[in-house]
Amino acid sequence: MNETTQLSEIRKTGTAIGMQPDLKVDFFSKNGFELACEIAKALSTSDAVPSAFRQFNEKKGSNGNSTLVGNPASLGNCLVAIEVAKSVGLSMISVMQNADVIQGKLRWSSKFQIAAVNACGRFTPLQFKLTNLGRITAKYKEKQDWNKTLNRFNFKDQQIEIDNWECVAWAYVLDANRRPTKDIVQSIPVSMKMAVEEGWYAKDGSKWQGEMRFQMLQYRAGTFFASIYAQDAIMGMGKSSEEINDVIDVFEQADGSFSANNVNLQDLKSSPDAGDLSGGSERTKERTETADKKPDDQKQNEQARPGIKTEESQAGNSDSPSPEEKEKIRQREIAESSSDKDFNLD
């Protein structure tokens, strides 16, 4: 292999040795998908990710010994987490640490959903209102033994007396400048009665039965709020419309230049209205109307002194005067200064 790279080869390939662009994760390109698989394999070997994403998990036996059990879904789960991370704009590790694989879906933790709402920029930080609605008798069905005949568990009707605490998550809506408005949005009420009737209360290892019930009420109210008012923040529906409007796709042309939507980038840079393509003609029109609205004495003064540029004319024209024009202007200013002094003499 030659130690030097010919200039003709660089022009032909477009890149030189050591200048190859880095690959990016892309599920719809061969190289991008292979990169995603390599990342997924590396993550699946880590003990710092939840068990759903690990290649092997430790399982303890009845004799106290532990063995490693393979997880065939680890690679696929890691790929799903990588794609979700791209969608919501988070790191892959953050997605894995804050999501659980439940019934074939990634489920965000309550803490993550509340944090996503607080960070989305559309609401003030979530507030929680707890209210004791009084003592009630709530009914629920308790799971019993397995019924072989019906091929399901038997259930027994139960009832319990509890203080029916209710929690509502609420926040003020922010305006375009992220200032609170008078509009308030809130979640549906979450109560201990709901927890009992939905089976959360009697579930094995339930935290609804102890002092943690207040924390659980706030978590559940926060997730209800997020699922209604901030679905894009927790489901990864992409960038906001403002971000999309600020981005243009650039394509290389046959002559080697780059353009977007048939507009040359060099023309955009050199145009005085490059900051706003749609408003250029409007600003030109505004400058023309402003010039037409000048007082008559100001117009006559500008016509009488064509060599001197006003602030508006300098703002509209960046060309500096030539040395000859500068000298004429200086002589004219000296003459005018002398005449003004003679005029002010009594």
> How does pLDDT run across 17-68, given as a tens digit for each residue?
555 567 888 888 899 999 999 999 999 999 888 888 999 988 887 777 888 8
Co-location of 39 and 68 in the same domain:
yes
Both 113 and 199 in one domain: the answer is yes
Q: 106: closest CA among 117, 94, 115?
A: 94
As a whole number of angstroms, the distance between CA 167 and CA 190 comes to 5
> Could you tell me the pTM of the whole model?
0.54
Please, which residues have CB within 8 angstroms of residue 2's CB and are 6 or more apart in sequence? none
pLDDT tens per residue across span 135-184: 999 888 887 888 888 888 888 888 889 999 999 999 999 998 989 999 99
* Residue finishing a domain among 76, 108, 140: 108
Token pair, residue 104, equals 């074939």
CA 117, 119, 122, 127 dihedral sign is positive
Same domain, 103 and 124: no
Nearest-angstrom CA–CA distance, 276 and 211: 58
- Residue 127 to residues 122, 180, 228, Cα–Cα distance (Å): 14, 14, 16
Task: Report yes or no on 202 lying in a domain.
Answer: yes
Which residues are registered as beta bridge partners of 289?
A: none
Nearest C-alpha neighbor of 191 from the set 139, 111, 142, 133: 133
96 found inside a domain: yes
Structural domain boundaries enclosing 60: 1-108
Per-residue confidence (pLDDT) for residue 185, from 0 to 100: 95
- How many domains does one find in the chain? 3
How far is Cα 33 from Cα 75, in angstroms, rounded to an integer? 13
**Chain centroid offset of residue 94 CA:** 15
pLDDT for residue 274: 44
142 shares a domain with 22: no
All residue ranges of the chain with pLDDT < 50 are 1, 3, 237-248, 261-265, 267-285, 287-288, 290-291, 299, 301-318, 339-346
Q: Is 271 part of a structural domain of the chain?
A: no
Note whether residue 255 is domain-resident.
no
| Dist. CA 19–CA 22, nearest whole Å | 9
92 and 116 within one domain: no
